[in-house]
Every structure is written in structure tokens, then in C-alpha cells.
Amino acid sequence: MNSKDWSHFNTNQQMIAGVDEVGRGPLAGPVVAAAVILDPDNPIEGLMDSKKLTEKKREVLAEQIKNQSLAWSLGRAEVEEIDDINILQASLLAMSRAVAGLNREPELVLVDGNKCPDVAFPVEAIVKGDSLIEAISAASIIAKVARDTEMIAMDSQYPGYGLAQHKGYPTVKHRQALLDLGVTEIHRRSYKPVKDALEVLG
């Protein structure tokens, strides 16, 4: 798939929806996806994989993407769905929901990764797509900002776990907090560190 030259999708194709998700690795919180159709007549400078941007730059770009794109949408899968159908299927479900939420119909959906979600439009998966396709980069940015914002809000609801800092990822502090404070309703019980904590806690 990546042997293709994808560069023309960044300039010539108007109704390309880029799709990406964030939150596969964390022990807590939802997986969040975004779909973005960029406006070729209103380009946004500096789009790249969200992980390569500072938090401040992501927040600035997220606002630009929402204001300047032709369409954008967020989709998600909750902790219960992740535990029920596994994180891969939950990620694909979140992406499907993001595409379904667009208020314009794309001609083609380009997804970061090597698996395609179930959508009502032609779809292709591109490994490292968040570094190759601007619309996927844009999707990765607004999905990450949305999820990070939610995890920061959860920090006050579930104090002591460090959610505002690590956003639910399995840091040493987070794993220790599971043992010290217990497993909450926002933790993914199908993930090994959470399972292990539940066993220790009885």
C-alpha cells in the first residue's frame, strides 16, 4: 500500500477523509478517533503526526483544523466496549463512528495503520499515514487533543492516579496507584496491569 505516491492526496483531492485514533495503549479511558476532510483552498501549515508536536502546538492546530476544514468528526469506544470486543476492534469501531459523524460525504477514506474500519465509502489503510497524509495528521491531532482534555478532566474525578500527566498510559506511578487506590470504573479490566492489580487486591 505504501509503495504508492500519496502526495497528490495532500493537494489535488478535495473530498478525502483522513482518519486516525488515539488511546490504544492506556490502561484507562476511551479510545478516541477523528475523521477530517481538509479544505484544499484553506491549507493549514505544520500538520504532522500528533506525537511529534508539543502539547501547545497540538492545541493551536486543533482549533485551526476545526475552523478551516470542510468537515470533522470525533468517534469513540468506551472502556466497556474495549473490554468486551478488544482494543483493535474498539479502535476500528471508534473510527467507523468518526466517519459516520461527518456532515459531508468523502469520496475516499484514508486510515492510519494496516486495518480498515467498516465505513460506507471506499477506504484504504496506510501504514504511517499520520506522517504521509495531511488529513490523517489532522485527524490524529484533534483526536489526541480531545482525549487528552478528557483525561485531564478525569484527573479531578479520580485523584491520585496521575491521569493529567500520563493520560492513562501505564507509567510506574499509574501501576502503583492501581495497587494503592484500587481499580476504577474507567480502567480497562482486560489489560494485564489492571488484571494483575485486581488479582492482588482480591
**pTM (two decimals):** 0.93
Annotation: CATH topology of 7-159: Nucleotidyltransferase; domain 5 (3.30.420)
Please report, for the chain, the start and end positions of each structural domain, with discontinuous segments joined by +: 7-159
- Low-confidence stretches of the chain (pLDDT < 50) are 1-3, 11
Q: What is the pLDDT of residue 12?
A: 53
Q: What is the pLDDT of residue 198?
A: 96
CA pseudo-torsion sign 166, 172, 178, 180: negative
Cα(22)–Cα(144) distance, integer angstroms: 6
Q: Using alpha carbons only, give the angle 56, 61, 63 rounded to the nearest 5 degrees.
A: 100
Cα 132 to the chain's mean position, in Å? 17
Q: Using alpha carbons only, give the angle 74, 163, 136 rounded to the nearest 5 degrees.
A: 30
Q: Return the C-alpha cell found at 165.
A: 500527566
Q: What is the pLDDT of residue 3?
A: 47
Q: Return the C-alpha cell found at 175.
A: 501501576
CB atoms within 10 A of CB 58: 19
DSSP SS3 for 63 = helix
